[in-house]
Structure 1
């Protein structure tokens, strides 16, 4: 085997590709780098068909807490990392926005604790950075290249948010975790998710929560509440459904960004949502039919 071929094989092991040796030329064997999940036909490379190629995954802080016995449940972060790893190897670009409610929720502490809203929100933003660094460490333990970008500068632990740099990381196959919300008080991390999604030209916001979608009523109050599988932005706003705050859902509506709300705790749901498979509730501009199941 030539030195060139040896290097080709080493490169594939680093980038999640396999070597195709079906093509031969007169000067010796020619190797092509083929991403996992892709196939070769007579017309060349054929890639898998997914609904979305670049996605924004929003993970709430409460979801990271798992059974609520600790601030961050390692089993939850590992489950997220494994499923994100499975789809990034297929060439899907994944960005993540993390919340901080498992550590500190600014809106809950403001006023009653003596903290003004701005101070409480800044503390909450710092909580999201802690979650982001933990999630980054978990992902990198599985070999997933990851970058954390914060809305305000914390150069010793993360990169500052720069849109073009974030997009470049995604193009190189790295997972980018956005922390510190929008960098401003009075805005939620849901709004940060919608904003970052629009900025990096992601195709969908995937909202991972502790429930399996949006219900007609609170299922804790009404056991007969039905799961709404399809909704429009207008229905979410007019019916005051507690999916995302008004600023976030309006931003998604204005930029025609679909939102998928699904249960983080069901194994395989993250990968299904990222691939565009039917899971949870889909919110978009228009729909043909609304189906509901108990």
Structure 2
């Protein structure tokens, strides 16, 4: 029998949306949320899991929304990238309070605030047991942090990408609007693309599909969900490429 404390995945990339950090607040960061996340991350490290984290910035700025309000899209996206840096620094602080080593690495060069992202250095940090928080998206406008998460998961050779959201998986329709919506326990990236399911944006999905990067969508607000997911429990929706299903 498998030891329940043994993780199924050795190296993971956790994608946290900015909205997930808000909790019940209308904007910004809910301290109770990031402290609870830090406790989950501490639990994973005690199991020997290597952890990379990509954070979004939608709780502070969203470039696409600013562009719709009349701002230049590139400028708006650059503001959004800086918002992810702010979230990453907040996560670094609460995780370090628990005695773990953390490195914030940015796709946007801010050397006086955090390290610039260098793939080999990020992998070395992970190998040394450090938590690596990856901010700044891809460093380019017009790309979402979902795409940035897919890219970083592939680059650091993660075993799986965990997308932490406010819902407990992927549904065939909006569960808020449709009480009979069906939740998938397992689906392929091609199915998600064909049915336009709300998993990630198309660029992120294609990246994961083409590089055989599995992803799990979970409800980050459910107690111990992150730990249970890393132990291999079916707490959300597992999304894989067709090649992995054969």
**Structure 2 length normalisation: TM-score?**
0.95
Corresponding residue for residue 155 of structure 1: 111
Partner of 1:229: 185
Give the structure 2 partner of residue 178 of structure 1. Answer: 134
Tell me, yes or no, if structure 1 residue 125 matches structure 2 residue 77.
no
- Give 1:111 shift: 3.3
Change (3 A) 1:288 1:98: closer
* Correspondence 1:140 to 2:96: yes
Q: CA RMSD in A?
A: 1.7
1:79 matched to 2:54? The reply is: no
Rounded to whole Å, the distance in 2 between the matches of 1:49 and 1:264 is 20
Q: Say how many residue pairs are matched.
A: 242
| Alignment correspondent of 1:54 | 11
- In the other structure, the counterpart of 1:217 is 173
Say if 2:23 is the partner of 1:66: yes
Query: Which structure 2 segments of 5+ residues have no match?
Result: none
Pairing 1:1-294 to 2, within 5 Å after superposition = 49-112=6-69, 114-286=70-242
Larger Rg: 1
Q: Could you report, residue by residue, the CA deviation over 1:38-87 in whole angstroms, capped at 9, with x for unpaired residues?
A: xxxxxxxx9x6432100000000000000024410011001111011111
Could you list the per-position Cα deviations for residues 142-185 of structure 1 after superposition, in whole angstroms to 9, with x for gaps in the alignment?
Answer: 11111000002111110000111100110010000000000000
Residues 231 and 287, structure 1, Cα contact 8 Å, conserved in 2: no
Q: Which residue number in structure 2 is paired with residue 34 of structure 1?
A: none
Aligned-partner SS, 1:57: strand
Cα distance in 2 for partners of 1:53, 1:192 equals 21
SS of 2:177's equivalent?
coil
Q: Mean alpha-carbon deviation: is it higher for 61-70 or for 181-190? A: 61-70
Deviations 1:84-108 (A, max 9, x none): 1111111110000000000011111
1:194–1:205 CA contact under 8 A, matched in 2: yes
Query: Of the two structures, which has the highest relative contact order with CA contacts closer than 8 Å and spacing of 6 or more?
Result: 2
Q: Aligned partners of 2:163 and 2:103: how far apart in 1?
A: 20
Distance 2:85 2:232 in 1: 28
Structure 1 segments (4+ residues) deviating >6 Å:
none
Once the two structures are TM-superposed, the CA of residue 203 in structure 1 deviates from its matched residue by 1.1
